Amino acid sequence: MTRKNMRNKTAEEITADVLRTFENTADPRLKQVMQSLVKHLHAFVEDVRPTTQEWLDALEFLKDTGKYCDDTRNEFILLCDTLGVSILIDLINNGKAEGATESTLLGPVHRFGAPELPHGADIAAGSQDGIPTVVKCRVLDLGRNPVADALIDVWQANGDGLYDSQIPELDGKMDCRGRFRSDEGGRFFFRTVRPKFYSVPVDGSVGRMLRAVNRHSMRPSHIHFMINANGYESVTTHIFDANDSHLEGGDTTFAVKQSLIRPFVLRDKPDDETKRMGIDSAYCLVDLEFVLQAS
């Protein structure tokens, strides 16, 4: 059967047709998400007016992004990080009370199952280079009372700016990672190496994007922390080295917040406690407080 007076639909009509197909979605949140996605995606296409080849290239880019994902690397997280989407998600979801430690990105290289270590342990035992560094921390509540038995996941790049997953010689072994529990005073401390600034991985699709748009790929040096304690909001954050000149050039993942920039203080010689941690030379001391808000 043929219809008379059939005409091609306009872009607006096509968008309206697609939106209508989601009207019977039982889950209201899913309906909202899908309709908003269609609206914005159609608006993007109308704005950019890609050629067919450009659209196929974009789909190939996403396919390539998937190829660079495995258990130790997630190129989609990196893509969201470098497009500023991850930090927007953080901003929406992690508004903390005044005085609580601010959150920032999880990043693409967190690994579950880092070893739980005693206070004072060296998380960077597999790293040859880098300034020995002692990180002393206290976990507090908003009233500055200690939070005991918090579980703190720590991970960082080594003194060469590399994560363990980027070092073939480690053959999948973890380095510069560990988990600690705070004591009755909310304290924990560990030995490491001063992390070096680094470039996000640029051998995948994100690197191709950054080169194409003439953007740098650098991240200022930092240590990642994820803190969980019963009765408190968990916080995933970084501490940035205040002396790193790469803070000036901007973080390619937009993750720096002023309150997370802390001094990494060089000390000429170790005190007794530092000697007990096996450090007999100049070292770097980082003193931190993490403040949790009740859940």
Cβ closer to Fe ion: 218 or 279? 218
Helices (H), 149-292: 205-212, 246-249, 272-276
Cβ closer to Fe ion: 107 or 207? 107
Q: Which residue number places its CB atom closest to Fe ion?
A: 107
Least distance to Fe ion, CB of residue 279, Å: 24
| Terminal alpha carbon distance of the chain | 63
Cβ closer to Fe ion: 122 or 241? 241
Least distance to Fe ion, CB of residue 256, Å: 12
CA distance 65 to 61: 6
CA distance 224 to 176: 10
Cβ closer to Fe ion: 224 or 270? 224
Q: For residues 69-128, which are near Fe ion according to CB under 5 A? A: 107
Q: φ, ψ for residue 147 (rounded to 5)?
A: -105, 110
Cβ closer to Fe ion: 62 or 89? 89
Strand 235-241, strand 222-228: pairing: antiparallel
Cβ closer to Fe ion: 186 or 201? 201
The site for Fe ion, by CB under 5 A, has a size of 1
> 161: burial class by Cβ within 10 Å (0-12, 13-18, 19+)?
middle
> 264: burial class by Cβ within 10 Å (0-12, 13-18, 19+)?
buried
Q: Identify the CA nearest to 244 among candidates 227, 224, 223, 274.
A: 223
Least distance to Fe ion, CB of residue 134, Å: 20
Least distance to Fe ion, CB of residue 27, Å: 35
Q: Where on the chain is the footprint of Fe ion (CB under 5 A)? A: 107
